[in-house]
Amino acid sequence: MHYTERPAASGRQAPIIQRKHKRPMTQTTVEKLVIAISSRALFDLSESHKVYEEQGLEAYQQYQIAHEDEPLAPGDAFGLVNKLLNLNKLIKASRVEVILLSRNSADTGLRVFNSISHYGLNITRAAFCGGDSPYRYISAFNCHLFLSTDGGDVRLALEHGVAAATILPSKVSSKQEGQLRFAFDGDAVLFSDEAEQIYKASGLEAFTASERLAANQPLSGGPFKHFLAALQQLQMEFPPGEAPIRTCLVTARSAPTHERVVKTLRAWNIRIDESLFLGGMEKGDFLRAYDADVFFDDQEAHCESARNHVATGHVPSGVANHKKVSKD
């Protein structure tokens, strides 16, 4: 979410659209954290994808089969996936699983599984969909998060109530040691976009006034609420201060609109380790200072800035991502 000074819109305030997620927003016990990852997010498939775009499907299939014994280079989400899987060693139990979802066929996808074996990644389950979107298997695998380079697949996952983000290209490599550090935007990511709708329709002054009045009314959950709750349950496996996972809220909100956020998390019984209320400042330097492994935001501009510092996932959710309809 992005808040900047601008005059409030004249006239009556636009109605707030309440969006319902198909998955109920209640906190349940998580036996295992399940992450779904696309093959192009896990590995660098740019070379073979170029063959597909320039020469077609048959040439692509021949290329992958001819190179199936050559390990693929790590992709933009490789470091994050590796650190996620390493949590099982720290917890000393199988509490995290990564599922591979791919538009490849099993035949062309053999190179992907060979690369998984090459890097020693404990990924054993997969769905190869032969050119179709793999989103329909996300719920069947009981996934909490889906990461992909395909924005269309990500939108479909979000529409079906699963936290999802488009992993953006980044030159920043995730460190393989230390805590696994997640950073989240607030509105339209952890929370619904109900407050952001007021800002977009009527400006900063109206947004601030509305949030003051609603300070004691918890915000509805956003697409990443369940994922944050699942992370907290993993954190609780460890003594205070010793968890290998850390979470941070990085929001453009500032006082006095921070109060509703704090009370919302309290009402949800969800604890977040750090909270940064930046009042519209650029987020990149703060994400670097926090040493985030990955950051999730609904604003494309924020994502573009952040990916210069950390691995970044764009969450195409909320009013900021509505397609504009031309008035002809």
Distance CA 78, CA 81 (A): 5
Beta bridge pairs of residue 128: 102
Amino acid letter, residue 249 = L
- Cα dihedral 290→295→300→302 (10° resolution): -10
Query: How many angstroms separate the Cα of 236 from the Cα of each of 35, 167, 239, 246?
Result: 19, 28, 7, 11
69 classed as catalytic: no
DSSP E strand stretches across 89-244: 96-102, 126-128, 145-148, 163-167, 180-184
Please give the distance of CA 179 from its chain centroid, rounded to a whole number: 18
Kindly give the residue spans of alpha helices, DSSP state H, lying in 92-222: 110-118, 151-159, 194-202, 204-213
Which residues have C-beta within 8 Å of that of residue 213, sequence separation ≥ 6? none
> Which residue of the set 44, 107, 132, 185 is catalytic?
185
Amino acid letter, residue 5 = E
Taking the alpha carbons of 175, 179, 180, 186 in that order, is the dihedral positive or negative?
negative
User: In 10 A of CB 117, how many CB atoms?
Assistant: 11
**Length reported for the chain:** 328
* Tokens 């504009």, residue located: 324
Distance CA 299, CA 244 (A): 28
The angle that helices 204-213 and 194-202 make with each other, rounded to 10 degrees, is 140
Catalytic residues: 185
